[in-house]
Homo-oligomer: A and B are copies of this chain.
Amino acid sequence: MKKDRIHLFDTTLRDGQQTPGIDFSVEDKIAIATMLDRFGIDYIEGGYPGANPTDTAFFEKKRTEKACFVAFGMTKRAGISASNDPGLAALIQSESDAVCLVAKSWDYHVKVALGCSNEENLESITGSVEAVVSAGKEALVDCEHFFDGYKANPDYAMACALAAHAAGARWVVLCDTNGGTQPAEIAAIVAALIASGIPGNRLGIHAHNDTGQAVANSLAAVEAGVRQIQGTLNGIGERCGNANLVTLIPTLMLKPIWSDRFETGIAPDALQGLTALSHSFDELLNRSPQSQSPYVGVSAFATKAGIHASALMKDPRTYEHVPPESVGNYRRMMVSDQGGKSNFLNVLRRRGIEVGKDDPRLDTLIGIVKEREAMGYAYEGADASFELLAHRTLGRVPEFFTVTSFRVMVERRFDANGQLRTVSEAVVKLTVGGVDMMSVAEGHGPVNALDIALRKDLGVYQSEIGDLELADYKVRILNGGTEAITRVLIESTDGEGARWWTVGVSDNIIDASFQALMDSILYKLMKNRKLAGRVAAE
């Protein structure tokens, strides 16, 4: 049986831009549009040319290869012809393939926000769509407040949608602008609209997450007949965000109830790039991915439950709704209080650490982990520090070198030219194979200075850590005030492309950072000797 095509419309660069705290540069937009285009999204809405310098510059060139490149803007103002509306002209002159026009469909907004008559608003819709189409571009119309408008005045909301359709809009998009509509209401109103004569393959849904149901509302609309879904990467967007495409896509592609009837423009094997897509987008936003995100979160296929863990060992699929690898994610077994001994043993075994179930050192290790997790150490996120702790407790870590003391100084003063300067300097004293050594370094801030000084000269080991790099540095304050306990997580990489996380906890951020830096170097030296890092494939 022929499957219906669902068209995916991404508005990360337009509605996503409305997210408090998020502002894209032209370079950001180019990078994101490229990611989306390669992934196989059908429509990429890039912004509002004419509204701000960034978007105007972004639309000076077509930014997509496969995807339809969409400019967003308003319908022409009432009382003037489409050809005389500068805003509309900017949209048509931009290097876009299509124009998405936002139109009021709630009579109350026509009065309050536009201050024109209902008829004038209908004329604006018709005139604007015709202008876009006659310019040779595809026209889409976002019916703003469609569902709230329909509840207030069904005839007028319907009239707006029909006007857009009749004027030649390829897509009439029904927007739940305030995000409060429930799935059953979406389904009923979409059905009424289709009954009124607009075919479902001309209708789209634009849902917001204000009741936590943007994904469900989008799917309810598809069930009712619409064939375009608008959403954003990781569900960013105004207020509580837009429908999350990163959640919708695998649901449409992997859940039989959908995949038996529908297909998208995304190649089946491309889906394995979903986790990377989601995480690299967060990377670009300089924020850490949400661990509990459906499909792509680090916790999405993680378990720390003792009972579940043992069943998982017997047959992982029994506790997974889809195979983690199908979305480029993987299964995680957590070290934790909750874990239970069998879970704990599995984690150790996966790292090539063999220890008997009744070995007293195992109980010691579990005790230490619980104690340190209570102090704020997060071994779930710091595999390398956990592995080192295990080796230490089981008595198998050679003493490569010892840091006898360090000093970090940050000074802010006027330099010779009367400019205010801040200088950070670190001095580290260490003993390597009986030899006392001392290193000093300046850096961008105290932690950077300490890191450089620490790795400046490790004597006989120096050549071994040449390819060691710090990839990421995260700080979490575990409780309020400047006296707070600080947790530092450091991600390191090396020439072999290995990645490992280490953790440090202290009421002193320098101390916490020092612990994590030391663990990272130690792990690297262990790894070089095949004493660590032997993670079994999952």
Contact between B446 and A223, CB atoms less than 8 A apart = no
Residue among A258, A406, A475 facing the most chain B CB atoms (10 A cut-off): A475
The 8 A CB mask of A168-201 against B (1 = contact, 0 = none) is 0000000001111011110000000000000000
Contact between A211 and B473, CB atoms less than 8 A apart = no
- B-side contacts of A303, CB under 8 Å: 18, 238-239
Is A118's beta carbon under 8 Å from chain B?
no
Is A381's beta carbon under 8 Å from chain B?
yes
Given that A108-B318, A470-B481, A484-B473 are contacting pairs, would A412 and B422 also be in contact in the complex, using a CB cutoff of 8 Å? no
A-side interface mostly: mixed
Is A219's beta carbon under 8 Å from chain B?
yes
Contact between B311 and A112, CB atoms less than 8 A apart = yes
Is A462's beta carbon under 8 Å from chain B?
no
Tell me the complex Cα distance, A299–B19, Å: 8
The 8 A CB mask of A214-245 against B (1 = contact, 0 = none) is 01100110010000000000011011110010
Number of interface residues of A (CB under 8 A): 129
- B-side contacts of A408, CB under 8 Å: 409-411, 446
Is A210's beta carbon under 8 Å from chain B?
yes
Is A338's beta carbon under 8 Å from chain B?
yes
From the candidates B257, B373, B410, name the one contacting A508 in the complex (CB within 8 A).
Answer: B410
Stretch of A3-11, A36-44, A319-327 that contacts chain B: A319-327
Shortest CB–CB separation between residue A291 and chain B, in angstroms? 7
Is A363's beta carbon under 8 Å from chain B?
no
Contact between B304 and A20, CB atoms less than 8 A apart = yes
- Work out how many copies of this chain go into the complex: 2
Contact between B255 and A182, CB atoms less than 8 A apart = yes
Shortest CB–CB separation between residue A287 and chain B, in angstroms? 8
A313-340: which have CB < 8 Å to B? Answer: 314-315, 318-322, 332, 334, 336-338
Is A496's beta carbon under 8 Å from chain B?
no
Contact between A336 and B23, CB atoms less than 8 A apart = yes
Given that A239-B292, A483-B444 are contacting pairs, would A322 and B257 also be in contact in the complex, using a CB cutoff of 8 Å? no
Stretch of A130-138, A345-353, A390-398, A509-517 that contacts chain B: A509-517
- B-side contacts of A380, CB under 8 Å: 20-21
Residue among A184, A311, A373, A412 facing the most chain B CB atoms (10 A cut-off): A412
Given that A219-B182, A247-B212 are contacting pairs, would A477 and B473 also be in contact in the complex, using a CB cutoff of 8 Å? yes
Tell me the complex Cα distance, A10–B484, Å: 31
Tell me the complex Cα distance, A211–B294, Å: 6
Contact between A509 and B210, CB atoms less than 8 A apart = no
Tell me the complex Cα distance, A292–B19, Å: 9
Given contacts A113-B318, A178-B321, A409-B409, 10 further A-B pairs with CB under 8 A are A112-B314, A182-B255, A211-B251, A211-B295, A212-B215, A239-B301, A240-B299, A290-B290, A443-B482, A445-B482
